[in-house]
Amino acid sequence: MTLKICIAQLNYCVGDMPGNAQKIIDAARTAYDSGARLVLTPELAICGYAAEDLFLRPSFIQACDDAVNRVASELAGLKGLTVVVGTPIQGDSSLALRTRSVAVQQRHNAARVLREGQVVDTYAKRELPNYQVFDERRYFTPGQGTCVFTAGEGADAVRVGLLICEDAWFEEPARLAKEAGAQLLAVINASPFHVGKGDEREQTMRHRVHATGLPLLYAHLVGGQDEIVFEGRSFALQADGQLAGRAESFQERLFFTDAASHPGSVRLAAATAPERETDADLWDALVLGVRDYLGKNGFPGAILGLSGGIDSALVLAIAVDALGADKVRAVMMPSPYTADISWMDAREMAARMRVRYDEISIVPEFEAFKASLATEFKGLKEDTTEENIQARIRGVLLMALSNKFGSIVLTTGNKSEMATGYCTLYGDMAGGFAVIKDLAKTTVFRLARWRNAHDPYGTGSNPIPERIITRPPSAELRPDQTDQDSLPPYEVLDAILERYMENDQGVETIVAAGFDRAIVERVTRLIRINEYKRRQAPVGIRVTHRSFGKDWRYPITSKFKA
């Protein structure tokens, strides 16, 4: 009296409906051969998450319908197999309205229940998130019904209540599924990663099983999509909230669970992947984000400016773990202010990582710019203007190499710099993907030490020279410069940034917590006045619960002070 269930924790690609359909077909056949009679795919698996304004195109929805029909047709011969496929569907088109000024959506974030070539049931998501990186109310209208279907046959049969992601964070959808006869809750999801999110999901689902008295399966996807990353980590909970099993994080897996029916209850059994360190999750999220951004967009490799500093060192290590040394190129571009130890450390790290390494001096270009501007700048002291010229020369050189050879430029700025504007438009901000855009500087240092102590992808232990980690950080754009000439100590800056930017605390609250008022006002002012820079920054990987991306939507022009 046991139903074997398979969660297809796979890496789906937005817009690749034929490819995603084939993944589902292949997974279902493998699962069926292994004895599974229920296969769960993640939320919107047929089209990938999130397709954003592609959802507004009728041809996109039609392509999704065609792909689901193909899955149903090709699996029709697998007797007794039920497959749940996440897909967008068109609602009542007579109620839809779209003009140049008004849009009323009538499509749903849904799931089709397929069996032996037929769509036997459909469920439309009831709770639509519209916060952080989510915009589902822009595209979908809420569902109203419930979906409870039977999986398996005879004594193995289980009544399954279907929910989609946000539904399970609220009480009513699960309660209605139980009232409709569900013995097991199956939740299909597309829940973006941030540090700590995995534990938060499991705890929230425990509340759901405690409220309903039903066991729960959580089906999740894995992969990178633009700025967001999905870490997998699908899991199963018993009706009492105990963990019954958990899939690996950041890896594609067919995660099998046995659902054994007993009088009045269903017990789950599955393998359990071990708990992981926070920094291991963080590292894998960054690696997967880089690998999928380049891989899914067809870039042949990556190029970055290697300065001998901590930020570019960390980005190089991430890139090599993501792509392999043969697809990463590092370029050192010394200026008149580059210290000898920067050259030495950059060369040493490139050798440790076994990447192509080149040195291109920017001194001739810098002198040429100064000569061209000498008449205009006559009598004026050198200042940030000349510093920015150096950064922009480097940007031009990297983009020229990118254009000529096709590799994407990885920028190396961190969250602390992005917050305060300690970066140069069209200079160090020039590039196609901002790998550590959501890492505070203190996290950069911590993660560099973690990587030196671990070699998770077998690309080399201790890749970052110790001096890069221990020396005071500097942009090296003027003599004897350090970051703290312009910014508070990073321990202070990052703590204020977390409170103000990530948690919406005001100046008075932060000061009351013990921070110096002058520093708080200075930092928050820098955050406010540099919004125009951030709007022009490349997309980057989101790893905190609030990043400078989709979940930060502040006006550029504003007089409000928090």
Q: Work out the pLDDT band at 104, boundaries 50, 70, 90.
A: low
In this predicted model, what pLDDT tens digit does every residue of 348-374 receive, in sequence order? 999 999 999 999 999 999 999 999 999
> What are the E-state strand segments in 464-509?
none
Q: 356-360: which pairs have CB atoms within 8 A and are 24 or more residues apart?
A: 356/328, 356/329, 356/330, 357/306, 357/329, 357/330, 357/331, 357/332, 358/329, 358/330, 358/331, 358/332, 359/331, 359/332, 359/333, 359/334, 360/331, 360/332, 360/333, 360/397
**Does the pLDDT value for residue 297 go beyond 90?**
yes
Peptide bond before 50: cis, by omega within 30 degrees of 0? yes
**Mean pLDDT confidence for 544-550:** 95
Q: What is the pLDDT of residue 100?
A: 73
Nearest to 330 by CA among 376, 245, 398, 391: 398
Q: Please state whether 328 falls in left (phi above 0), alpha (psi between -120 and 50) or beta.
A: beta
Q: What is the spatial distance between Cα 276 and Cα 286, in angstroms, rounded to a whole number?
A: 15
The three-class DSSP label of residue 50 is coil
Token pair for residue 406? 């096709």
- CA separation for the pair 329, 359 (Å, rounded): 11
Among 197-211, 442-456, 472-486, 506-520, the range scoring the smallest mean pLDDT is: 472-486
Banded pLDDT at 94 (limits 50, 70, 90):
low
Q: Which helix (H) or strand (E) holds 102?
A: none
> Which secondary structure element, helix H or strand E, spans residue 13, and what is its range?
none
How confident is the prediction for the chain on average, in pLDDT? Answer: 95
Helix/strand/coil for 289 = helix
Distance of CA 25 to the CA centre of its chain: 26
**How far apart are the C-alpha atoms of 490 and 478, rounded to whole Å?**
20
The pLDDT, as a whole number, for residue 476 is 66
Residues 334-354 have pLDDT tens digits of 999 989 999 999 999 999 999
Report phi then psi at 215, rounded to 5.
Answer: -70, 165
236-246 burial, b at 16+ Cβ within 10 Å, e below that, comes to: bbbbebeebbb
pLDDT, tens digit, 9 for 90 and up, residues 301-310:
999 999 999 9
pLDDT, tens digit, 9 for 90 and up, residues 440-497: 999 999 999 999 999 999 999 999 999 999 998 877 667 776 777 778 999 999 999 9
The fraction of the chain above a pLDDT of 70, given in percent, is 98
d(CA 250, CA 37): 25
pLDDT at residue 484, as a whole number? 78
pLDDT in tens, 28-71: 999 999 999 999 999 999 999 989 999 999 999 999 999 999 99
Nearest to 468 by CA among 343, 322, 328, 299: 343
Residue numbers annotated as active site: 43, 125, 165
* In contact, 358 and 366? CB cutoff 8 Å: no
Q: Model confidence over 122-132: pLDDT tens digits?
A: 999 999 999 89
